[in-house]
Amino acid sequence: MEDKQIVELYWARSEQAIHETAAKYGRYCRSIAWNILFDDEDSKECVNDTWLRAWTNIPPQRPGLLAPFLARITRNLALDRYRREHAAKRGGGQVELVLEDLEGCLSSPERIEEQLDEARLVDSLNRFLAGLSARDRCVFMRRYWYISRISEMAADYGMSESKVKSILFRTRKKLQRHLLSDGIKL
Amino acid sequence: MNKQTAKQPSDRAAQLLDAIGQVRERYIVEAQTWSPGRARNPDVTDTAAAESRCRPRLSWRRGLVTAAAASLVLLLGSWFGLYRAGLWPAGLAGTQTTSSTGSAGTATAADRAAQAATGQESSQSSQIPASAAGEASQTAAASDSSPQGTAGLPLLVIGLSDDGSGATAAYGQLYLEQSELADHNPWTEDADITTLPVYRNLRTIMPDTQSISGTGGSDLLQQLEQLAAALQLTVNWDDLEAPVVYPSSEVLHSRESLLASSQQFDSLQTSIDGIQLSVSGIGAYTLNFDPDSGLLLPDSLVFPQGAEAQADTLPANLLSTTPEQMLALADYVLTQYSQVIQMDQPVIELHTRYGYVAPEADGSNGLISKSYQLSIYDKSGTLAEQMLNYAGRQLSFMVTELDSSDQNPSGGAYISLLRQTNQLDQLEKLGDYPIISLSEAESLLQAGQFAVSQGPQPTPDLDKLLKVEMVYQINSWDYDTILPWYIFYIDTSDQAPDIGLHSYIAYYVPAVDPQYISDQSVWQGGIN
């Protein structure tokens, strides 16, 4: 079933919408959750919460593309769950490694008191990503949006792991400079 | 396997991670489907970023077979898209081009900016260091192409940095009309060039220590002083922020400490009266304005610069904003900020970008986009300097909408960012290298001696040639050797679905005589 029809089911408040969503995007969302939580049960719960969140948000929303719409929900839910539970569970997920990576984009170890404007940060990120080559952008997104493993990315892209790491390193440094010049202090 | 962490990641890193989650959908979709170096799928249409491939290789993407298999990369912001403008400063004889949209021959802000710049010191007219400047030999008589004349030139290893991340040749584009491919590249086919300078890029990341090159403190202080003076602002020299380059995390805060330091810095910043001034190199700065300090635009210059719609929308109907409006906006910005723009002859380059995500089999859920990208470069100096400016020293700006309020019910917009980049401030000249002719480059192309970013590709059919140009490839840290390339744009629209847009692939041939290129294996037949 195409996305448009699924969305119409949501608007008609038909529970068939959930079934169709799960059939079409279940595996996709589960993989996103798994990369973050590294636990089957937690990932399943996260995906189920994604369907509930979609049900709550459609309507009033009418997403044109369901994949990124659902992916965002799953990612946010998984990260929230990770933050609540990560002190107890250290099961080999990638989130800590990704956060350590992103530390390298911080401009100063000093404490920044001013409130961070998230909208401005997102806008700056979008402009930064627009200026990258597709390869560097995709490597960056796979690592920091999808929280994919370096080994997985290297295998998928036919690159060595060192090359993937090098691309990520350069891109992080470029991001750091970009954010600095945009006046965004992290 | 978990790595032992030395410290708890900060809340700020988590905020950055959350913000990354909010970036545009097109990047989320693109990352699912991009694949390097795969054979072109004739059923897949490339978008403006066109390094994409439909490749449902990962198991987790099977749930997206139709959307993911047909969806394509959307990339806006490549430096490689083109639009023929019309704002030519009077007096640039020999460089006039026709345009279906622009005006020509009238005094513009570019003229006024050039006139205003004549009072500046000549050292500011070109940001290419004197040690690196080179001039194109424009007549056969002026250049000696004999082996003795070019003896001692080091062989060039081109295209790749130490990890192969360089030489990301520009990717194919979508276009609606061939006139959109016209540009203001200072190089033209009738340019009689026998040699051009080639440089080593000193902006590096050292592979062993991963330390990063930056800029010295005294240079940055001088740049900041000049920038503030141009804006008639007074700097508090004890309220600075200068982060030392990686791997250090040190930040210096005063003029004295910068002058006393032998380290290099990422940038130097300070805030004055709602304006954040940031300098990151010689002739490279960013100005961030808040709504109070930013230039408020007249209503006639407030319009969208991009739009997205369902894939069945006609490309011509995507965006009501015209190129003339965009050029008028650029002209206004050049006029209003002429005192800070460090260009003698600013020329506006307007790029039109299209993006496309193929719909599903029944025609639903696709996405098409159109946007404009403005950049401005300095067309002063020799042809070589102009070409380097075109590639590595550009001005850009950002427009931000104001929220509607009781005091300002119509909203409006202001200039929130003005940025001048300069990737030419750390170049070491290797020499003036012989340049092959266009016909020689065509011969190499037809012999399979080319590089593409969408490989492997068959030898192109020159009957489908849309355009050829010569450009320097410059991108901080990504290219060790800065040299000119011929770029052949070959139409590939017969491989694309009929969506009202056309497509092409860019083929790259080094413009330097092959006998001076030491390792041709890295680019013969393709990159990647």
Of A64, A131, A157, Cβ closest to residue B310: A64
Task: Give φ, ψ of A66 to 5 degrees.
Answer: -75, -30
Q: pLDDT tens digit string along B17-41?
A: 999 999 988 788 888 766 664 322 2
Measured N-to-C along each axis, helices A95-103 and A134-144 cross at an angle, to the nearest 10 degrees, of 120
* Strand spans (E) along B379-501: 394-401, 413-420, 427-434, 465-472, 481-482, 484-491
**Helix (H), strand (E) at residue B289:** strand B284-289
Name the residue facing A96 among B9, B164, B357 (closest C-beta). Answer: B9
Cis geometry, peptide bond prior to residue A60 (ω within 30 degrees of 0): yes
- Mean pLDDT in consecutive groups of 10 residues from the start of chain A, 186 residues: 89 93 92 91 94 92 87 94 71 77 72 65 89 86 94 87 88 87 75
User: Are A122 and B22 in contact (CB < 8 Å)?
Assistant: yes
Out of 1.20.140.10, 1.20.1640.10, 3.40.50.300, 1.10.10.10, the CATH code matching A95-181 is: 1.10.10.10
The CATH code of the domain at A3-85 is 1.10.1740
Of residues B52 and B16, the one with the higher pLDDT is B16
User: What ranges do the domains of chain B cover?
Assistant: 109-133+209-427
The answer to whether the CB atoms of A137 and B30 lie below 8 A apart is yes
Number of C-beta neighbours around residue B2 at 10 A: 12
Contact between A145 and B3 using a beta-carbon 8 Å cutoff: no
Check residue B497 and give its pLDDT: 62
Residues of A in contact with B37 (CB under 8 A): 158
Using CB atoms, pick whichever of B12, B21, B163 lies closest to residue A75: B21
Nearest to B288 by CA among B276, B299, B280: B276
Return mean pLDDT, chain B.
Answer: 73
Distance of alpha carbon A157 from alpha carbon B513, whole angstroms: 33
Q: Does A72 contact B58 at a Cβ distance shorter than 8 Å? A: no
* Distance separating alpha carbons of residues B455 and B466, to the nearest angstrom: 20
What ipTM was reported for this prediction? 0.90
pLDDT at B373 over 90: no
Residue B52 forms contact with A (CB below 8 Å)? yes
B415 touches chain A (CB under 8 A): no
Could A100 and B66 be called an inter-chain contact, meaning their C-beta atoms sit closer than 8 Å? no
Mean pLDDT of B446-472: 83
Can you tell me the distance from the alpha carbon of A8 to that of B458, in angstroms, rounded to the nearest whole number? 45
> What are the extents of the domains in chain A?
3-85, 95-181
By the 10 Å C-beta count (0-12 exposed, 13-18 middle, 19+ buried), B189 is classed as exposed
Convert the pLDDT of each residue in B390-433 to its tens digit. 999 999 998 988 876 655 566 799 999 999 999 888 889 999 99
